[in-house]
């Protein structure tokens, strides 16, 4: 027996980790600039989370969604402490994909409309609907196509011939929404505050403009924060850079600190419109005491350890180090990011070297990845990463560029 060959696997067998460092069977160490699959924001071996999980293992993992538990109350309480009062209805699930699906179901149910608007170059999950909205699923001929998908140009400003026309509420990449006839108005705009695919950072004002479009269409704005949420961009949630409140918020990855937890949060008004149409929504691992306890503990740890602020500070440090390197290496077209969600894009001429460079960095002990579609190195380190670790990475990155 071996694993399905669905994802290229490095020939590395990991055995443990501490903070931002992972160890393998040979005793080699790796700085994890990806937080696993962008999930382990507290780093590895985090004592508070480990103790909470051990304690919960002596209690209940799963109870059936029809029962309440103290742990779910705790999870809700901690979520409420980091959200505006309007976002007051939540469901805990396991993965980002599931949460995106539920958010979309809520939007279709609440509005009675069929369409959904998404940015090109995005990734929204591995389930059939979420994947078919994603760039990787768009051309997958084996997939049934999601109907009525309105694709909006990605905010990939480094490659946009009209980026100079941006600002003051004007975003040429959103023009298709300006011209939309009422019969095509969607149920939802699925908005990722920073696109994780290529670390595409929309200009400030973009999210607020999307919220205006959603209002004028009678659609819901879904802030898809599977990657941007929980401090990743230097604020608890990416939508906060925009001074807006979404109608639905999707949280994943970081809220589990490496364990499978996600959440969908919405307003009382959306709940009242959607639930009578949706009927029951029950999944085996919905609202479990385990997910409530983990979410509460992760939110508490991020707050008590000042990790949102740390994400902003370390992100600035990483960005400025990369910008210094960019000054010396013209092969880097653009460095961009917010908080600890950082990317460095290669020029089109240098892009073919990206995958090889990324492999070299792994050999040197730095886990990161190279996103082919946007020719971008992606860096999502744990929030506990230190300046020394960032400097070590920058030195290795520069050496690999010079090779
Ligand atoms: C923006 C975004 N949405 C959704 C997902 C899907 O989340 P999951 O893999 O937890 O199902 C991902 C995963 O990478 C993601 O980056």
- pLDDT tens-digit map of 213-268: 999 999 999 999 999 999 999 999 999 999 999 999 999 999 999 999 999 999 99
Helix then strand count (H, E) for the chain reads 13, 15
Residue 126 Cα to ligand 1 middle (Å): 7
What pLDDT does 9 receive? 72
HSE at residue 15, side-chain half, CA atoms within 13 A, is 7
Confidence of residue 11 (pLDDT cuts 50, 70, 90): confident
For the Cβ of 195 lying below 6 angstroms from any atom of ligand 1, the answer is no
Atom from ligand 1 closest to the CA of residue 260: 10
Query: What CATH number labels 50-304?
Result: 3.40.640.10
CA 353 to chain centre: 26
DSSP 163: G
Report how far ligand 1's centroid is from the alpha carbon of 123 (Å).
7
Q: Could you tell me whether strands 220-225 and 188-191 are parallel, antiparallel, or unpaired per DSSP bridges?
A: parallel
Q: Domain 14-45+306-402: which topology?
A: 3.90.1150
DSSP secondary-structure letter at 21? Answer: E
**pLDDT above 90 for 371:** yes
What separation in angstroms does the CA of 27 have from each of 17, 22, 30, 160, 359? 11, 10, 10, 45, 19
The best mutation among 37, 41, 97, 259 to test binding of ligand 1, ranked by most ligand atoms within 8 Å of the C-beta, falls on 97
pLDDT digits (tens, 9 = 90+) for 126-135: 999 999 999 9
36 lines ligand 1 (CB under 6 A): no
Cα(3) to ligand 1 centroid in Å equals: 21
pLDDT at residue 7 greater than cutoff 80 = no
| Structural domain boundaries in the chain | 14-45+306-402, 50-304
> In the structure encoding, which two tokens stand for residue 185, read together?
């108005």
94 lines ligand 1 (CB under 6 A): no
- Identify the pLDDT of residue 240: 98
Dist. CA 325 → ligand 1 center (Å):
30
Q: Establish whether residue 35 lines the binding site of ligand 1, counting it when its CB lies within 6 angstroms of any ligand atom.
A: no
Query: CA angle 359-365-366, nearest 5°?
Result: 70
Please answer whether residues 288 and 63 qualify as being in contact, where contact means their C-beta atoms are separated by less than 8 angstroms: yes
Which residue's CA is the closest to the ligand 1 atom numbered 12?
125
Percent of the chain whose pLDDT exceeds 90: 88
Specify the pLDDT at position 136: 86
Q: Which two tokens stand for residue 132?
A: 């078919």
Instruction: Give the pLDDT band (50/70/90) at residue 91.
Output: very high
φ, ψ of residue 30 in degrees (nearest 5): -135, 135
Question: If you take atom 13 of ligand 1, which residue's CA is the nearest one?
Answer: 125
Let me know if the fold of 14-45+306-402 is the same as that of 50-304: no
Give the position of tokens 């460079």. Answer: 357
pLDDT in tens, 92-116: 999 999 999 999 999 999 999 999 9
The response to whether residue 123 sits with its C-beta less than 6 Å from ligand 1 reads yes
């Amino acid at each position: 027996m071996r694993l399905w060959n669905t994802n290229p696997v490095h020939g590395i067998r990991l055995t443990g980790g501490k903070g931002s460092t992972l160890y393998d069977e040979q005793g080699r160490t790796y700085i994890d600039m990806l937080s696993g699959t962008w999930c382990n924001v507290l780093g590895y071996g985090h004592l508070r989370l480990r103790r909470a999980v051990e304690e919960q293992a002596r209690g209940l993992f799963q109870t059936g969604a029809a029962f309440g538990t103290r742990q779910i109350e705790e999870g809700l309480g901690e979520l409420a402490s980091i959200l505006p009062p309007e976002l007051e209805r939540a469901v805990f699930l396991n993965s980002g994909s599931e949460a995106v699906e539920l958010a979309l179901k809520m939007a279709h149910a609440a509005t009675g409309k069929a369409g959904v608007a998404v940015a090109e170059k995005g990734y929204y999950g591995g389930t059939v609907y979420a994947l078919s909205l994603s760039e990787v699923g768009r051309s997958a001929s084996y997939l049934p196509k999601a109907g009525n998908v309105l694709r909006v140009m990605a905010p990939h400003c480094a490659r946009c011939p009209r980026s100079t026309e941006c600002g003051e509420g004007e975003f040429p990449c959103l023009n298709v929404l300006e011209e939309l006839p009422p019969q095509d108005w969607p149920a939802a705009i699925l908005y990722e505050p920073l696109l994780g695919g290529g670390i595409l950072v929309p200009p400030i004002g973009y999210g607020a403009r999307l919220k205006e479009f959603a209002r004028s269409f009678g659609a819901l704005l879904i802030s898809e924060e599977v990657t941007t949420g929980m401090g990743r961009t230097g604020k608890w949630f990416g939508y906060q850079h925009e001074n807006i409140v979404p109608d639905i918020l999707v949280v994943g990855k970081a809220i589990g600190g490496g364990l499978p937890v996600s959440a969908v949060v919405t307003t009382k008004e959306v709940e009242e419109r959607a639930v009578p149409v949706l009927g029951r929504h029950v999944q085996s691992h919905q609202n479990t005491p385990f997910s409530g306890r983990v979410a509460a503990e992760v939110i508490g740890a991020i707050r008590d350890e000042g990790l949102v602020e740390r994400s902003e500070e370390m992100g600035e440090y990483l960005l400025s180090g990369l910008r210094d390197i960019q000054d010396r290496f013209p092969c880097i077209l653009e460095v961009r990011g917010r908080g600890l969600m950082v990317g460095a894009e290669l020029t089109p001429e240098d892009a073919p070297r990206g995958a090889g460079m990324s492999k070299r960095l792994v050999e040197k002990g730095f886990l990161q990845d190279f996103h082919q579609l946007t020719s971008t190195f992606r860096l999502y380190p744990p929030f506990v990463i230190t300046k020394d670790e960032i400097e070590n990475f920058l030195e290795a990155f520069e050496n690999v560029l010079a090779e």
